[in-house]
A and B are shown apart, each in its own frame.
Chain A
């Protein structure tokens, strides 16, 4: 009981000193809880949506998948005759045929895509009674003829669409205009899909290419008939290759796809929260170490009057427990706030989420609390043990100078061994022949070198701080020297504070190296291999009309079509694989130049010929002249002669098997031929600019496709990688913020610890300004120390990753010096920023009180 009381008093007596540690715990817990609440809320939103939209029983083609359109770009369909059969099943109250396609683009009068920008799909279909379950017509009426369309209210709002406006729908099989005659609002939360409706005949003709077909039947049960029962009856009545699902099965299947996607987001975000926790551990260890050091005499006294080691130990841990509880409880609350904030952010990005759906599962606060408390107490364990080892004699000793820690030799040795084995693992990874072996070594190398650096950090602190100071601080004369000595006086503390910053910055450096190497490698490969002037691609595969528009563009020497096909390949050794094949125009060999190890690539575009990649050829002992059997999905099986083997030492089209479109057509019926994934074009000699302008113009009507010349394409690539990196940096910011809190904390506690020193210095004439500068410089040195270690480590990781990924075509190592140097300089400012409050408080310290402090 006394232990509890002492701990509690200590905790509240030092609540100021605990505050930053509590904030660190709070932030990490909040991020975890925020992630959980956010993803759970997203899931709830989709659950509700799917639960509402699923009819009692749904009938679909056997292989239909909710999110996938088959390779030919036309949704799989059911014959109308089957609908009649389904209606005859027992217990069916009504059955309705629905048409729906996600392989569409809808544009307004200015040819602007009205689809969601958030990545949510555009869904086009016929208006059925089933849709009334989730929507209501809020203005106008349902579409009745081939020129009428209804749009959802969110999309109408976003794009300022009104009744009477014209919308153009671009599908694989149709491209037509219709006037908006109705606007329908969702009665449940629609997370962001743009939805348009036509009458049934129009939907069938334009989206499926023929009337008398549906993509699914929505069957409603008579009163008293269960879904399972109805499913049985309908399946029996249909007796064919159909997928029949109850409402629950249907919504579960719909949810599965979303759930996987949400899980990826969830675990990625939790990963970053984990990093923040890791950084927070350093902060907590430092806080408690410093508090224990400052209380040495007090603890000695307690020991002298009879407290046992365990009691001292426990009292420190109890304090940590309080810290964990306070931080976690606040963190859970803040987490809900973060989730709401994220939802608002998503709304701004075009995704609708309602706070009505805010889902806080019981597990969320439990996970947050347990994680926060356990991590805090574990982190405080080492300092607590150190407190327990304080001898009763400490009470009698002069307080002297507080906590000038020394670094043990054993620690140095362990650190060296860890760092050494980490470096060895990284070197092994860099020299690995197989990506799978290498990535394991890379992972081991990263973990070992990180731990090694953390352990060895205090030793490095001595050296690195001296170097930084020699370059930077000497200019500031005696104040600089004082700052340097202060940063050096407790290397363990400086090491731990810097290490916290190191972790975040190492990841930043590593990712920036990998990202910029990716861009550099791709650019260099594009320069080397791509002969095409223009590249056209987009979210929707290229519809026939767009293909035609491109081919009709003046000033082009050639236009290349490129189609990816599902097919099963059987090699002479009897092995099969489903990797598919690529069918392209022979000009593709000029657009993307590929080296061959055997034969000539142009020959592969001859009749009944093809090429394979060198990896495949090696694995299956295939040589030019061998015959492969290619079973086209939806077509026949062809016997094709291997005419070329392409070298797989590339990033573009690695492992692709080429054949001509003519060869493909022989074995694949026209309706099964897929649209182009991508198209290439080459301008006539000397007319590049005109051709580019003309191509852009002719693709104007198809905003879903991006037209790029090589320069723009490279830029796009760079922008995409840059965006991705920025997102990751944003998430790493959390860890860096916690690390900065750590710097602030260390400085603040150091200032308290050095009260007398500061008083002395002020008494003998150090001005406030000089004092503040001294603390700021100490902070900058610590920050730069962390940055130097982190950036060095991260660049090492990044370079190793690049060497390893060179096997996958990441051939060029590009260290983004501007980023690295920017981060380094930024760290100095972070140091300045971290010192603001501690320096201010030190400056305000009353000289007399400072001298008087025992």
Chain B
């Protein structure tokens, strides 16, 4: 299986496409000649709107690279990536930046917040940068949802790791981006704080209709998703819908074993 293209292009709500982002024949290679390393090898993928997609795979499988390319943080060697109807491959830095600012939300594993800004300032930062007015009611709801109401004036250093990630989630949600990308958003958290954050992400998909793509190697984290994509050696090797932690773990073990025997 080299592709994860199984979603009808149109459907779902209103006039918008049912596919929030799609990649076609995406290749990402570093170096050339003998030292050429292929991180993504002709990947086709569709990210369904309003769904929580997890990307899994062993280290070096290309899962982070795929996310970076989808999010317009990295350029591709060949192939096309569309965000909704916009082709982002080939966009110049200026347009890419604006695209990230206006249409994409990010949650990184660590160092998500600017230490000089307090929680609420961090949350509204993308909109501030854009010079956009924010929807007060929405903001309140987001803050309420992630449970930060009492800590909005705190600086990141005054918040626990879990709280910091919740602020990051709130920031990603506040601007109502088309897609939120998470790069191991719970990688640095203990299981309880991680579960909290993942719970928020799940709820934002279910209750707010948010589209989320998350890279993780934690089967428990992946189990919060609607759909799990498995990457290995730069290719999509499998896909699982409505995963459970056990099923994901089994599948992973499967790959590991295959990897070892091959």
Contact = CB atoms under 8 A, between A and B. Distances in A.
A225 interface: no
Nearest to B93: A768
A309 B104 CA distance: 48
B115 A767 contact: no
A763 B73 contact: yes
Contact of A770 (B113, B115, B129): B129
Contacts of A401: 115, 156-157
A404 interface: yes
Of the candidates B97, B121, B128, B156, the one having the most CB atoms from chain A within 10 angstroms of its own CB is B97
A765 B126 contact: yes
Contacts of A183: none
Of the candidates B102, B112, B114, B171, the one having the most CB atoms from chain A within 10 angstroms of its own CB is B114
B115 A764 contact: no
Interface string A752-777: 00001100111111111010000000
Contacts of A279: none
B101 interface: yes
Contacts of B156: 401
Interface string B156-170: 110000000000000
Given A401-B157, A478-B128, A768 B115 contact: no
A763 B93 contact: no
A764 B156 CA distance: 17
A64 interface: no
Interface stretch (A139-147, A481-489, A573-581): A481-489
A847 B99 CA distance: 15
B108 A760 contact: yes
A848 interface: yes
A479 B112 CA distance: 18
Contacts of A761: 114, 125, 129
Of the candidates A477, A479, A763, A767, the one having the most CB atoms from chain B within 10 angstroms of its own CB is A763
A362 B251 CA distance: 79
Contacts of A479: 129
Contact of B97 (A488, A768, A848): A768
Contact of A757 (B74, B97, B115): B115
Contacts of A763: 71, 73, 100, 106, 108
Interface string A263-275: 0000000000000
Of the candidates A401, A481, A488, A757, the one having the most CB atoms from chain B within 10 angstroms of its own CB is A401
B111 A764 contact: no
Interface string A812-847: 000000000000000000000000000000000001
A482 B129 CA distance: 10
A756 B111 CA distance: 8
A382 interface: no
A766 B129 contact: yes
Nearest to A485: B116
B94 interface: yes
Interface residues of A, number: 27
A681 B106 CA distance: 85
Contact of B129 (A404, A478, A848): A478
Interface residues of B, number: 32
B131 interface: yes
A764 B128 contact: no
Contacts of B113: 760
A766 B100 CA distance: 9
Contact of A760 (B93, B101, B112): B112
B115 A489 contact: yes
B116 A489 contact: yes
A485 B94 contact: no
A762 to B, nearest CB: 7
A519 to B, nearest CB: 47
A766 B97 contact: yes
A848 B73 CA distance: 7
A26 to B, nearest CB: 34
B133 to A, nearest CB: 12
Nearest to A483: B116
Contacts of B74: 848
B73 A482 contact: no
Contacts of A404: 115, 157
Contacts of A486: 116
A762 B104 CA distance: 12
Given A765-B100, A768-B93, A760 B128 contact: no
Nearest to B156: A401
B101 to A, nearest CB: 2
B247 to A, nearest CB: 31
B149 interface: no
A482 B97 contact: no
Of the candidates A404, A764, A848, the one having the most CB atoms from chain B within 10 angstroms of its own CB is A764
Contact of B100 (A478, A481, A764, A848): A764
Contacts of B129: 478-479, 761, 764-767, 770
A485 B117 contact: yes
Contacts of A767: 94, 97-98, 101, 129
10 contacts: A404-B115, A760-B111, A760-B113, A763-B106, A763-B108, A764-B106, A764-B125, A765-B98, A765-B104, A767-B97
Given A760-B114, A765-B102, A851-B108, 15 more contacts: A478-B125, A481-B128, A482-B117, A485-B117, A757-B115, A760-B113, A761-B114, A765-B97, A765-B101, A766-B101, A767-B129, A768-B93, A768-B94, A848-B74, A851-B73
Interface of B: 68, 71, 73-74, 93-94, 97-98, 100-102, 104-106, 108, 111-117, 121, 125-126, 128-131, 156-157, 171
Closest 3 CB pairs of A and B: A765-B101, A485-B116, A478-B128
